[in-house]
Structure 1
Amino acid sequence: MAQALAKSDYTGGTHVPAVKTSFDLFRRPTAKTGLAGWITTVDHKKIGMMYAAFAIFFFLVGGLEALLIRTQLIVPNNRFISAQLYNELFTMHGTTMIFLAVMPLNAAFFNLLIPLQIGARDVAFPRLNTFSLWSWVVGAILLNIGWLSHFVPAWSGFGGAPDVGWFGYAPLSSKVFSPDMSTDLWVLGLQILGLSSIVASLNFIVTIINMRAPGLTMMRLPVFTWMTLVTSFLLVLALPAIAIALVEVMMDRNFGTSFFEVSGGGQPILWQHLFWVFGHPEVYILILPPMGYVSEILPTFSKKPLFGYPIIVFSGVAIGFIGFGVWSHHMFTTGMGTVATAAFALATMAIAVPTGVKIFNWIGTLWGGQITTRVPMLFALGFIWMFMLGGFSGIMHSAAPADAQQQDSYFVIAHFHYVLIGGATFALLAAIHFWFPKFFGRMVPELWGKISFWLIFAGFNVTFFPMHFLGLNGMPRRTWTYDSNMGWNEGNLVATLGAYTLGIGIFTYFSVLVYSYFKGTKCGNDPWDARTLEWSIPSPPPEHNFNAIPTVHARDAYWYEKHHQEEITKEKAEHIKAEESHGGIHMPDQSWYPFIACVGLLIGCYNFAQLHHPVTFFGNQVLASHLPLAISGGVVTLIALYLWALEGPAGYHIHIAADGKVTESRGDHH
């Protein structure tokens, strides 16, 4: 069924008979520019750019939250912020960086690159892709709306931002300890983010498996595409665990159940198991795509093929598989017993093997290569070294006695940030710099790129390396302040100064990107002499991606093209002629309905979080409960989904003339 849908969803060159089923409450938008064009777009590249823009915004927000935390800890007995605000900041910093920064930045690259790397016109289900974007925005709004209570007196009922920790351990998330509705909004926001991730993952699984160009076998896929496929399966399999746990929290908080309430026979440790069954695969959900970026960048700047491609692929699959069997290494201090502790300790040690294999493969790629240290290469090399350091401390945690010493200390914070900043973030910054010319047609200045790299590299290490010693010296994580006689003064001062340096580096990096967007040197389709298919088309890519669906002849598809130009040119001409004989390239229409469905989600979830509160307007009670408004939001979503289902496969055609001129036309056939 999925294969049939994917092959007929506008972008694969297959044309199906016209179906007159459309009932358009909103006229189909045809304008591709302006606000309406962006809201209703189904173009995977525009969707990827919006993911990236939103994610970078929240990345900066999360960084600001971190700087406020570090400023509070710069000296002992500080009162820069209150203990309550500190709890809100560390909760939202973790939630923001994981769910609203790194994950959507990876999703941005999934959208931008996957169709281009596999030789497709778009993803399998373009309108579902739009829905995944706007539902993610809904989740982001729900998570952060509690901040408004600090600035808008009329919204003080939120009680501030969520303060239960990004891990949401029971019983901290119960009504007893967190009575404000901000926790309900946090729960619903995470549920909507999970919905967004699941529908996007299913879309990419279908796209990668069914829409590859002729000749692009699974063992010719770019490594980034492979890591996207593995990550998508991890999301589909891991997110239901946290979804179930969040439903149980909502039931405990609002409907009198006792899943985690001890007084009613519940077990708080159940939350930890459900959370970490999701939470540890989540670590690899965050890190596998960066491993893919690095596997694309290193061969390009080493001028040689990736060393041990099959081993890189299989080790990525092994990481995804073993990642589901290590979750309780987060729970060594909960008294699971020696057998369970030993089993999870061994599994944690085992997962280091495929990770180490990748590092040796990357070193093998560099060995003997003609290495050029451009900015993307610097960030990629920084990723390898920083991720190795984070991995070494991770291996220490696999030993339960050592973990008992380090548990809930600043040592764990150091480890986690070496993995997710030194690892994921360094690789993401490498990827942004590497693919920026492809999607904007301009180069980033090399000098300023290198300045930002060294500021980030130095600031990161000065911030987090001292935290290893702070942790071993007994400093607990999530502590609001500390006394001057604890021996933590110098470490916190150095870490905070490093955080400011890191912040300056990040600000410099993104400022240079903004400058480059407007003033950067214009470039051609392949400024790096790269090896994958996206570099074979113009920069920025056209809406239809490829004038002709390419035929892949080798693993490094574009390197092959560059050495067999006569053969490839002839193939492309034949493919264009064949597509024109079938009416040209068929592209999907834009649609309002995914966006409207998400507006309904926002209305429904926002009001569901306030279910037991009266609705007031300018201080006057309008309704006794938010239930009618919550139901109204659900009705809006259902109506939009129904009308979306009634939309026929209408679209338009792109025609490629013999001289390469591109024109559009509309007609009755599909």
Structure 2
Amino acid sequence: MSEQRAALIEQTISTAEEAERARNLERIWAEPKGFIGWFKAVHHTTIGKRYMVTAFAFFLAGGLLAGAMRLQLAFPESHLMSPDLYNQIFTMHGSIMMFLFAVPMMFEALAVYFVPLMVGTRNIAFPRLNAFSYYLFLFGGLMLFAFFFVNSGPDRGWFAYVPLSGPDYGAGKRADIWAQLITFTEVSALAVAVEVIVTVFKLRAPGMSLNRIPIFVWGQVVVAFMVIFAMPGVVVSSTMLLLDRTASTQFFNPAVGGDVLLFQHLFWWFGHPEVYIIFLPGTAIVSTIVATFSRRHVFGYMALVLSLIATGFVAFGLWVHHMFATGIPQMSEAFFTAASMMIAIPAGAQIFCWLATIVTGKPVLKTPMWWVLGFFFVFIIGGMTGIFVASVPVDLQVHDTYFVVAHFHYVLIGGAVFPLFGAFAYWFPKITGRMLSERIGMWSFWLFTIGFNITFFPMHILGLRGMPRRVYTYPADAGWTVLNQIQSCGYLLLFAGVSLFLWNVWTSLRRGEAAPPNPWQAGGLEWATDSPPRAYNFLNLPTVNGSEALWDALPDQPVISGLHEDVREIVTTRIHDAEPDGRDELPEPSIWPFIAAVVTTALFIGSIFRPIAVSIGAIPLAIALIGWFWPTREESERRRRRDIWQKS
């Protein structure tokens, strides 16, 4: 009896100590309160949610613009909108979906929110840079819409080919606005790429060696490296275009030695890897959901990781297949045809690993799994048509027709949006602490899937019948009317599916069922925390014993102790085996990243009208950066006490 009483007293003391630690950590890691505090926030869950909400809002705006195009094309010789407005709308639609939704949502939002949780740390590396990247993304999108509403939206397509977007043919500031949108979004993505790489390779939980990193995290690491190598190409090309238009340079003027194809090479050096920057997080989501709902470790972990890496490498050898109609040498055509077909190999390997996981497991069909099954169906169709357009003779026939539009949407919506909605259903309990309705979720899935196929599959036939893309109307005797009307009806089903999803989110947030700690019985480390996570993520920083941390945990799995809990301190680990390597202190919330983003925005927008704005804007930007990095008195004293500045 005395032993039981002693054990009870010991447990009570331990619980009280943990409660005190939790209160202390909550105070240290909590985000600032109030209106000004909103602009100071730097925690990865806060910034990640902002990325998600903002990117999804842009997705809805881009979808409404797509509906306007469908309405215009539902009838031949329609005069619902002028050619100029239609050009702005389809350019806005493409630019929003590619630069303001797909990459920010699939990479930045999901990586910022989930990677630190999945690797077992309390925040992302460089949290102030993380906040800066979000504000830059937000301001770039707001700039695009502000100019669109004053009839100055970009109107040269989401790729802005020269010479049509050059100074001779692109009057006004529309192409300049597109060029600076690129700068906003790509600088934001590059910042997040650096954060993700450092977080994964230096802040992983002890024991999470390279062969134990979750597949989702591997996917985001590969994408981060792709962003670093690909996006400077489009930043350079858009900057050269802006300089041609505002500073009278001649980069793309063949009359004085420039080259219009240089723009295409630089753009598609980024443009085709971007398809995989969008697609690879989707495959990583699929691997995560398939393992959870098959109730087993994913089949072929190493094959899946190597497929992600191989896709990332090969993606940089495909860009010229967008340029088969430009008259490049036949040897180049042969090489890029082979590369375009070769990239199907790692994609096929992933599909077979997923199917093997499902077949050898005990699959449970919940809403996230249904979205994965929809992904299989839609993406395989997109991949097969991709093999077609990789062939030079076929590509020359269907180039710039609706066949390419169909292929593009089957790949990107199938490879990204279907997994994304699966991810929303899967991680909604983690983010909000509430469960989505299964019944409404299933209705949303089927309406979206049927509507998608009705909308985009007929485009294959339209393309083979010769309907060119980017036309605002067509003659009544062209034979395209019925298929266009079918597509417009399909859009209504798509719209209904997304609307039901939004209704599901709204009602679940207000009165949804409270989510248990791990509603899917998943193995990922993100489910070891509260839902939604506390400000400090983990009360006790974890250690890891396998690729599915919860499934592989030992009965007495150790945790990390000894960190200072009066500051934002984290553990750093070694790159290969994640052995403890030291400790580091993350910076506190600050308003300086927001101020730096405002100044940078003014600099970018000013450069559209006067190049000297770059020089003038550099002065306040330098002041903002000094404020950003200048330590507070408390930080300086703390560093002195801990001998951080002491000479060895």
User: What residue identity is the alignment partner of 2:556?
Assistant: E
Deviates more, 1:102-111 or 1:61-70: 102-111
Residues 402-413 of structure 1 correspond to what in structure 2 (within 5 A)?
A: 402-413=394-405
Whether the 8 Å CA contact 1:596–1:636 is kept in 2: the answer is no
Judged with a 3 Å threshold, the aligned counterparts in structure 2 of structure 1 residues 449 and 581 are, in CA distance, closer, same or farther, namely: closer
Residues 182-201 of structure 1 correspond to what in structure 2 (within 5 A)?
A: 182-201=174-193
Distance 1:512 1:451 in 2: 10
Whether the 8 Å CA contact 1:42–1:126 is kept in 2: the answer is yes
Distance 1:178 1:87 in 2: 13
After TM superposition, the score normalised by the length of structure 2 is 0.89
Residues 350-369 of structure 1 correspond to what in structure 2 (within 5 A)?
A: 350-369=342-361
Whether the 8 Å CA contact 1:600–1:635 is kept in 2: the answer is no
Q: CA deviation at 1:109?
A: 0.8
Give the equivalent residue in structure 2 for 1:640.
Answer: 624
Secondary structure at the residue paired with 1:551?
Answer: coil
| 1:122 is aligned to 2:123 | yes
Q: CA deviation at 1:233?
A: 0.3
Give the equivalent residue in structure 2 for 1:113.
Answer: 114
Judged with a 3 Å threshold, the aligned counterparts in structure 2 of structure 1 residues 213 and 29 are, in CA distance, closer, same or farther, namely: closer
Judged with a 3 Å threshold, the aligned counterparts in structure 2 of structure 1 residues 584 and 109 are, in CA distance, closer, same or farther, namely: closer
Give the equivalent residue in structure 1 for 2:140.
Answer: 139
Deviates more, 1:183-192 or 1:411-420: 183-192
- Please list the CA deviations of residues 52-102 of structure 1 after superposition, one character each: whole Å capped at 9, or x if unmatched: 011011000000010001100001111111100110011110110011111
Give the equivalent residue in structure 2 for 1:567.
Answer: 556
Give the equivalent residue in structure 2 for 1:603.
Answer: 602
| 1:463 is aligned to 2:462 | no
User: What residue identity is the alignment partner of 1:609?
Assistant: I
Q: CA deviation at 1:264?
A: 2.9
Q: CA deviation at 1:244?
A: 1.3
Residues 135-174 of structure 1 correspond to what in structure 2 (within 5 A)?
A: 135-150=136-151, 160-174=152-166
Q: CA deviation at 1:604?
A: 1.7
Distance 1:322 1:468 in 2: 27
Whether the 8 Å CA contact 1:589–1:650 is kept in 2: the answer is no
Give the equivalent residue in structure 1 for 2:47.
Answer: 47
Judged with a 3 Å threshold, the aligned counterparts in structure 2 of structure 1 residues 483 and 588 are, in CA distance, closer, same or farther, namely: same
| 1:211 is aligned to 2:221 | no
1:423 to 415, 419, 432: 415
- In the alignment, structure 1 segments of 5+ residues that lack a partner are 1-27, 151-159, 613-626, 653-664
Distance 1:374 1:35 in 2: 40
2:269 to 257, 263, 277: 277
After TM superposition, the score normalised by the length of structure 1 is 0.86
User: What residue identity is the alignment partner of 1:149?
Assistant: V
Whether the 8 Å CA contact 1:470–1:491 is kept in 2: the answer is yes
Residues 180-259 of structure 1 correspond to what in structure 2 (within 5 A)?
A: 180-259=172-251
Secondary structure at the residue paired with 1:559?
Answer: coil
- Please list the CA deviations of residues 289-308 of structure 1 after superposition, one character each: whole Å capped at 9, or x if unmatched: 11111110011111111010
Give the equivalent residue in structure 2 for 1:332.
Answer: 324
Distance 1:648 1:55 in 2: 34
Whether the 8 Å CA contact 2:29–2:568 is kept in 1: the answer is no
User: What residue identity is the alignment partner of 1:194?
Assistant: E
Whether the 8 Å CA contact 2:246–2:609 is kept in 1: the answer is no
Q: CA deviation at 1:649?
A: 9.5
Q: Would you say how many aligned residue pairs link Structure 1 and Structure 2?
A: 599
- Please list the CA deviations of residues 279-298 of structure 1 after superposition, one character each: whole Å capped at 9, or x if unmatched: 01111101001111111001
The percent identity for this pair of structures is: 39
Q: CA deviation at 1:369?
A: 2.0
2:549 to 544, 557, 564: 557
Q: CA deviation at 1:587?
A: 6.0
Residues 51-70 of structure 1 correspond to what in structure 2 (within 5 A)?
A: 51-70=51-70
User: What residue identity is the alignment partner of 2:244?
Assistant: D
Distance 1:329 1:643 in 2: 47
Whether the 8 Å CA contact 2:41–2:590 is kept in 1: the answer is yes
Distance 1:39 1:56 in 2: 21
Q: CA deviation at 1:33?
A: 3.3
Whether the 8 Å CA contact 1:422–1:460 is kept in 2: the answer is no
Secondary structure at the residue paired with 1:149?
Answer: coil
Distance 2:402 2:71 in 1: 16
Whether the 8 Å CA contact 2:126–2:586 is kept in 1: the answer is no
Judged with a 3 Å threshold, the aligned counterparts in structure 2 of structure 1 residues 557 and 544 are, in CA distance, closer, same or farther, namely: same
User: What residue identity is the alignment partner of 2:239?
Assistant: V
C-alpha root-mean-square deviation of aligned residues, in Å?
Answer: 2.2
Give the equivalent residue in structure 2 for 1:290.
Answer: 282
1:442 to 434, 454, 479: 434
Distance 2:61 2:449 in 1: 20
Distance 2:635 2:350 in 1: 44
Q: CA deviation at 1:632?
A: 4.7
Distance 2:442 2:33 in 1: 34
Give the equivalent residue in structure 2 for 1:306.
Answer: 298
Distance 1:581 1:127 in 2: 20
Secondary structure at the residue paired with 2:149?
Answer: helix
User: What residue identity is the alignment partner of 1:605?
Assistant: F
Give the equivalent residue in structure 2 for 1:23.
Answer: none
Distance 2:282 2:73 in 1: 31
Secondary structure at the residue paired with 2:150?
Answer: helix
Distance 1:331 1:631 in 2: 37
Give the equivalent residue in structure 1 for 2:523.
Answer: 531
Whether the 8 Å CA contact 1:29–1:590 is kept in 2: the answer is no
| 1:316 is aligned to 2:340 | no
Secondary structure at the residue paired with 1:508?
Answer: helix
User: What residue identity is the alignment partner of 1:97?
Assistant: M
- Please list the CA deviations of residues 265-291 of structure 1 after superposition, one character each: whole Å capped at 9, or x if unmatched: 322111111110110111110100111
Distance 1:293 1:36 in 2: 35
Distance 1:312 1:94 in 2: 31
Whether the 8 Å CA contact 1:328–1:344 is kept in 2: the answer is yes
Distance 1:641 1:398 in 2: 47
Judged with a 3 Å threshold, the aligned counterparts in structure 2 of structure 1 residues 29 and 284 are, in CA distance, closer, same or farther, namely: closer
Give the equivalent residue in structure 1 for 2:502.
Answer: 510
- Please list the CA deviations of residues 326-347 of structure 1 after superposition, one character each: whole Å capped at 9, or x if unmatched: 1001111111121010000001
Judged with a 3 Å threshold, the aligned counterparts in structure 2 of structure 1 residues 105 and 31 are, in CA distance, closer, same or farther, namely: closer
User: What residue identity is the alignment partner of 1:186?
Assistant: W
Whether the 8 Å CA contact 1:599–1:637 is kept in 2: the answer is no
Give the equivalent residue in structure 1 for 2:12.
Answer: none
Give the equivalent residue in structure 2 for 1:393.
Answer: 385
Whether the 8 Å CA contact 2:246–2:608 is kept in 1: the answer is no
Secondary structure at the residue paired with 1:323?
Answer: helix
Judged with a 3 Å threshold, the aligned counterparts in structure 2 of structure 1 residues 527 and 258 are, in CA distance, closer, same or farther, namely: same
Q: CA deviation at 1:583?
A: 7.8
Whether the 8 Å CA contact 1:69–1:86 is kept in 2: the answer is yes
- Please list the CA deviations of residues 356-383 of structure 1 after superposition, one character each: whole Å capped at 9, or x if unmatched: 1111111111113221111111111111
Judged with a 3 Å threshold, the aligned counterparts in structure 2 of structure 1 residues 395 and 450 are, in CA distance, closer, same or farther, namely: same
User: What residue identity is the alignment partner of 1:424?
Assistant: A
User: What residue identity is the alignment partner of 1:378?
Assistant: W
Judged with a 3 Å threshold, the aligned counterparts in structure 2 of structure 1 residues 179 and 650 are, in CA distance, closer, same or farther, namely: farther
Secondary structure at the residue paired with 1:247?
Answer: helix
1:451 to 443, 449, 453: 443
Judged with a 3 Å threshold, the aligned counterparts in structure 2 of structure 1 residues 630 and 322 are, in CA distance, closer, same or farther, namely: closer
Give the equivalent residue in structure 2 for 1:32.
Answer: 32
Q: CA deviation at 1:650?
A: 5.7
Give the equivalent residue in structure 1 for 2:17.
Answer: none
Distance 1:135 1:29 in 2: 24
